[in-house]
Amino acid sequence: MSLRLALLAALLLWPAWIGAQSTALPELPPVENWQPIFVEPAPIPVGTSVGVPPVAVAVPTGLTATLIAPRSVAGRVPLTLKVANAGAAAVQLGAGRDNDQNCAVAPLVRVLRVGTREVVYPLAGEPRLCAQDFRSDTAGKGEAVTYTRELELASGDYMIEGWFAGSGNGASLKLSAQPVRVTVR
C-alpha cells in the first residue's frame, strides 16, 4: 500500500476512531427559574478611544498651494506645486502615493479639456497598485516645499487643477491651488 493510500485511509477513518476514543459527557439536568444577568457597560466619553488617551492635533494654518506650469509646451507637461508656510511655526507635511494618480505623491491633479467638461486625467478605471511610500517634509516659517511631476498629454488646450492631499502636523490636510491653463503642441 502506498503512502498516499495509507494517509487517505487514515483520514477517512479518523472521525470513527475519534468517536470511539472519546467518552460521553454526563447529561446535565435542566435548571429551573434561571434569570439572565445584564451588565451595564461603563460609559465612554464621546471623542475618545478605549485605552488611548486623547491627543490634541493642531491643524496647521497659514499654508497656501501654488501650481506652476508653462503656458505652452511641446511634449511632456512639467508641473510644480509649492506649499508655502506663512504661519508662525514649522509644519510637518506628509503624503503617500496615490493609486489613481499614476503613483504620484504630489501634486495630485485633474486635467480637463478646455471648452468641454471632459476629464482627460486621471482616467476612470485605471488605478495602479503603488508602493506604500510616504514622503515627509518640513516647511519652516516662511519656507516652501516643492513637489514636481510630469504629465503626458495629447495636443490640445487643457485646464489643470492641482492640490496637495496628505497630513500637516498629523492632521488631515488638503490644499487646493489655482488652476492653470496649458496648451500642448
Contacts of residue 99, defined as CB under 8 A and 6 or more positions apart, other chains included, come to 127, 128, 129, 130
Mean residue pLDDT across the chain: 85
Q: What is the pLDDT of residue 6?
A: 83
Comparing 60 with 154, which gets the higher pLDDT? 154
- Hey, is 100 helix, strand or coil? helix
| Comparison of pLDDT for 35 and 114, the residue scoring more | 114
Query: Domain segments of the chain: what residues?
Result: 70-174
Query: pTM value?
Result: 0.67
CATH number, domain 70-174: 2.60.40
Q: What is the pLDDT of residues 54-111, one digit of tens each?
A: 555 666 889 999 999 999 999 999 999 999 999 999 999 999 999 889 889 999 999 9
* pLDDT computed for residue 57 by the predictor: 61
Q: How far apart are the first and last CA of the chain?
A: 77
Q: What angle do CA 10, 11, 14 make, to 5 degrees?
A: 80
Q: What confidence score (pLDDT) does residue 136 get? A: 95
For residues 170 and 70, the model is more confident at 70
If residue 151 lies in a helix (H) or strand (E), which one and from where to where?
Answer: strand 144-151
Name residues whose C-beta falls within 8 Å of residue 62's C-beta, 6 or more positions apart in sequence.
Answer: 85, 86, 87, 88
